[in-house]
């Protein structure tokens, strides 16, 4: 079981606890990136967003300075409101794994903003070296986040992620970000994700 930040306004989600190691993408020269993608589309978008947005570039650098590896993948969500989510997956002696899922059917602008929002959450995990399991991750969320209505322990949001999303929107387009996504935290149920 794992828990994570979810960008949605309502509903529970489920996730399989399977970790697929993906080939590292390089965002800064030949150095493997700590932020890895599953597709060439996402890799190209992340590379472009890193060049265009100082905020995204700084977030990737913060993650690189930690022992966190984040895997970004496209995910089809049943909820029309859910745009992205971040989960703490596991920790080993020298590395912690995080999964970011985003709805890739959004416009390019929305995708870049969602990536900024979710990378802020990854950065929050990276900054907390004591997050090594579900319990310590829940403790972090209680310390830095605020509940997002709904059932208890269902969702958390951080001001930093909302601000990162808005800042990325300004950097890429010259105007504010959408900031319409809410971040949720859900414990896993017994059924796999769709």
Helix/strand/coil for 41: helix
Provide the H-helix boundaries in 65-127: 108-127
Domain ranges of the chain: 4-185
**Residues 51-91: tens digit of each pLDDT:** 999 999 999 999 999 999 999 999 988 877 778 889 899 99
**Residues 7-36: tens digit of each pLDDT:** 543 333 333 333 333 334 444 444 578 999
């Amino acid at each position: 079981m794992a828990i994570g930040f979810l960008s949605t306004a309502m509903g529970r989600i489920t996730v399989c606890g399977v970790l697929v190691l993906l080939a590292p993408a390089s965002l800064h020269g030949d150095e493997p990136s700590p932020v890895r993608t599953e597709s060439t589309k996402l890799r190209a978008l992340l590379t472009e967003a890193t060049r265009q947005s100082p905020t995204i570039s700084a977030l990737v650098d913060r993650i690189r300075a930690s022992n966190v590896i984040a895997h970004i993948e496209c995910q089809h969500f049943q909820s029309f409101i859910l745009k992205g989510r971040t989960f703490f997956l596991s920790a080993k002696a020298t590395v912690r794994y995080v999964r970011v899922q985003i709805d890739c059917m959004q416009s390019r602008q929305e995708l870049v903003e969602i990536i900024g929002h979710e990378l802020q959450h990854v950065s929050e995990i990276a900054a907390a070296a004591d997050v090594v399991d579900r319990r310590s991750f829940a403790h972090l969320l209680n310390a830095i986040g605020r509940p997002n209505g709904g059932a208890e322990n269902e969702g958390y949001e951080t001001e930093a992620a909302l601000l990162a999303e808005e800042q990325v929107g300004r950097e890429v387009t010259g105007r504010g970000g959408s900031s319409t996504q809410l971040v949720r935290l859900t414990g896993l149920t017994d059924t796999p994700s769709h």
